[in-house]
A = this chain, B = another copy of it.
Amino acid sequence: MKAATIKDVAARARVSVASVSRVLNDQGVVGEDTRRRVMEAVDALSYVPHSGARSLITRKTDTVGVILPDLFGEFFSELIRGMDLAAREKRLHLIVSSSHDDAEEASFAIKSMRGRVDGLIILSPHLDAAALAASMPRSLPVLLMNGGARDVERSSIIVDNHGGAEAMTRHLLDQGRRRVAHVAGPGGNLEAEARRAGYLAAMAGAGIEPVVLDGDFDQASGYRAGAAIAAMDIRPDAVFAGNDMMALGVLLALQEAGLRCPEDVAVGGFDDVPISSLVRPTLTTMRIDIAGTGRRALERLVSLIGDAGESSPAHEIVRPQLVVRESSSSNSGKGGAKAVLAQGG
């Protein structure tokens, strides 16, 4: 027993399918009697319109796709949450697709979205703009959140990773720290590279020799880096981790090694994921309003879909904001903790 179609409804209501369609989308004018009969039939059959069929002719799916590199960790879930919130307000569906590390997989995913979505938000920090552009029909509205999208013929929202990293590094230096180490994100990741470059620039500006350890944005790699740092002959007195999850790992490793933070080693992260204000010491970081950025991305995509054709692509820049918490502040007393809790809780 299959689901009822518009024909079944029409038959039962003894009207034409056109009338049913009209009632359901209240379009045109419909007689009082017709309308009633249709409604009766609709819920007698508990009819629900087939959105696939509808979108074939209306040429809209009321769905947007999100292509993510990964779904791990708080960053992406916050981002999706923001998008979902905005999507819900606009009565749009969200189709998510993740784990696209390489260009090949990503462009396959993009292709397979054709006919399913009205537009795409693409987040692929590993991909260069050229590879992306290749796999996308010009007709599909796309919003890029790709570190390297600055100069591409597509609208984008990009985080000022370089500037943020510089700011964090300078903050650490301003606290009187000299040997500021950096735990870098994965090679080939444009965001990671921008952050590393920002760090290097700030260190160069201060005339201090940089120290870079490898990481991959995961907590475990931060832990390893932290352990390595704790064991160094000339131990750094501050660490700027490429993101909060790694900063967390550093924090734990330091603690394990019997080092105090911030007294012995100050630590700074990047992103301001929710957990950052829930650990002790609370984590100094460069705040990105992650959910807000996700929401914004969806809203911009919607307007791209709206003016179907050609307003020239706009590139929006999100500037992360320094949030000083216990892990880097000289006077990390009770007050600091209180302030953070008020915000985190």
Which residues of A are in contact with B by a Cβ distance under 8 Å?
Answer: 1-3, 46, 48-56, 61, 63, 71-72, 74, 76-77, 80-81, 84-85, 88, 93-99, 111-112, 114-116, 137-140, 219-220, 223-224, 248-249, 252, 255-256, 275, 278-280, 337-338, 341, 344-345
CB <8 Å contact, B345 and A50 = no
Query: Which residues of the partner chain B approach A76 to less than 8 Å between Cβ atoms?
Result: 77
- Pull 5 A–B residue pairs with CB atoms less than 8 Å apart, ordered by A: A49-B115, A50-B115, A51-B116, A71-B77, A256-B337
**Chain B's nearest CB lies how many Å from the CB of A303?**
21
CB <8 Å contact, A219 and B111 = no
Q: Which residue of B lies closest to A218 (CB)?
A: B345
CB <8 Å contact, B95 and A93 = yes
CB <8 Å contact, B85 and A99 = yes
Known: A71-B81, A95-B96. 5 other contacts (CB 8 A): A1-B138, A51-B114, A93-B112, A94-B95, A252-B345
Q: Which residue of B lies closest to A108 (CB)?
A: B91
Cα(A56)–Cα(B1), bound, Å: 18
CB <8 Å contact, A74 and B71 = no
Q: Which residue of B lies closest to A68 (CB)?
A: B84
**Chain B's nearest CB lies how many Å from the CB of A247?**
11
Cα(A275)–Cα(B328), bound, Å: 21
Cα(A345)–Cα(B216), bound, Å: 13
CB <8 Å contact, A115 and B52 = yes
**Chain B's nearest CB lies how many Å from the CB of A81?**
4
Query: Which residues of the partner chain B approach A255 to less than 8 Å between Cβ atoms?
Result: 280
**Chain B's nearest CB lies how many Å from the CB of A224?**
8
5 nearest A-B pairs in the assembled complex, by CB-CB distance: A77-B77, A50-B115, A52-B115, A223-B345, A51-B115
CB <8 Å contact, A48 and B94 = no
The listed residue (B52, B138, B139, B279) touching A52 by CB distance below 8 A is: B52
Cα(A97)–Cα(B84), bound, Å: 7
Q: A256-B341, A337-B256 are in contact. Are A81 and B72 (CB under 8 A)?
A: yes
Cα(A98)–Cα(B89), bound, Å: 11
Cα(A224)–Cα(B95), bound, Å: 36
**Chain B's nearest CB lies how many Å from the CB of A54?**
8
CB <8 Å contact, A98 and B93 = no
The listed residue (B48, B280, B344, B345) touching A137 by CB distance below 8 A is: B48
**Chain B's nearest CB lies how many Å from the CB of A275?**
5
Cα(A223)–Cα(B84), bound, Å: 27
CB <8 Å contact, B114 and A93 = no
Query: Which residues of the partner chain B approach A54 to less than 8 Å between Cβ atoms?
Result: 115
Q: A72-B81, A99-B85 are in contact. Are A3 and B114 (CB under 8 A)?
A: yes
**Chain B's nearest CB lies how many Å from the CB of A205?**
33
Cα(A139)–Cα(B199), bound, Å: 57
**Chain B's nearest CB lies how many Å from the CB of A111?**
5
Q: Which residue of B lies closest to A4 (CB)?
A: B137
Q: Which residue of B lies closest to A340 (CB)?
A: B252
CB <8 Å contact, A345 and B96 = no
CB <8 Å contact, A338 and B256 = yes
